[in-house]
Amino acid sequence: MILGVNVDHVATLRQARLATEPEPLMAATLAILGGADGITVHLREDRRHINDRDLWLMRELISCELNLEMAATPEMTDIALEVGPDMVTLVPEKRQELTTEGGLDLRAQRAKLRAAIKKLKDRGIPVSLFVNPEKKDIEASKAAGADMVEIHTGMYANAKGPAAEAELKRIYAAAGHALDAGLSVNAGHGLNYFNVMKIAEIKGLRGLYIGHSIISRAVLVGMERAVREMKGLIGKAA
């Protein structure tokens, strides 16, 4: 199972001082040394952390999977077509949010999503949709032409006790529906060193996309070790 490490928070730290360090590319390189199979960056409309230069540098220098997270807007689609990431994950994006808050609203965004997916796929870029763990959203992803889904694990990560168990069941069911529909299945959001194993146990899962917990640990123990420890947990569960 692949582990994609999201390095947006390194850029957030840089932007806190509008400075030139820390450099997200260096963090990405260290993450790869620690065992990351891929690097994720979210280029936001307001460029609040990752900027266009970061994305171009990553494209030039990162040879493992570069996953570009983005909103399905014409501006971002044009950038993706120019840069050519190894895959794109389409996410909902609100200016005021601290992080991606929920899965895509596939009904409301249907036309926008279909247009972006078609353009990206015509250029040979595989597309994943960030979705809530619901059958209707899996079906809509398939109908929209996506290759993959990333199941939103944030509700599970925030829940406790029986509520967490219920969320886990929803995620397992959604993963099953997605696999049956012929989609590749990823998961992510809110995963950490304590809750990741239950998700990594899902049969047939392609990959996990993790940012906050790895970068937080990296601040204390270093990036290579933080990634290696996460890979170890995933390896034990998968």
Considering the candidates 9, 49, 69, 167, report the single residue annotated as catalytic.
Answer: 69
Nearest to 100 by CA among 58, 149, 146, 153: 153
Give CA separation, 228 vs 41, 196, 233, in Å: 20, 14, 9
* Residues 93-132, interacting with ligand PXP (CB under 6 A): 99-100, 130
Work out whether 156 is an interface residue with ligand PXP (CB under 6 A): no
Q: Are the C-beta atoms of 54 and 21 separated by less than 8 Å? A: no
d(C-alpha 116, C-alpha 74), whole Å: 7
Work out whether 190 is an interface residue with ligand PXP (CB under 6 A): yes
Stretch that binds ligand PXP, among 25-33, 76-84, 110-118, 206-214 (CB under 6 A): 206-214
User: How far apart are CB 48 and ligand PXP at their closest, in Å?
Assistant: 12
Question: Which residues face 152 on adjacent strands?
Answer: 188
Work out whether 191 is an interface residue with ligand PXP (CB under 6 A): yes
Work out whether 212 is an interface residue with ligand PXP (CB under 6 A): yes
Give CA separation, 5 vs 31, 64, 79, 87, 135, in Å: 7, 11, 21, 14, 27
DSSP annotation string for 70-118: E-S-HHHHHHHHHH--SEEEE----TT-SS--S---TTTTHHHHHHHHH
* Residues 44-103, interacting with ligand PXP (CB under 6 A): 69, 89, 91, 99-100
- Answer for which of 14, 189, 217, 231 binds ligand PXP (CB under 6 A) is 189
189 is catalytic: yes
User: How far apart are CB 91 and ligand PXP at their closest, in Å?
Assistant: 5
Residues that bind ligand PXP (CB under 6 A): 6, 8, 42, 69, 89, 91, 99-100, 130, 150, 188-191, 209-213
Query: Where in the sequence numbering do the catalytic residues fall?
Result: 42, 69, 189
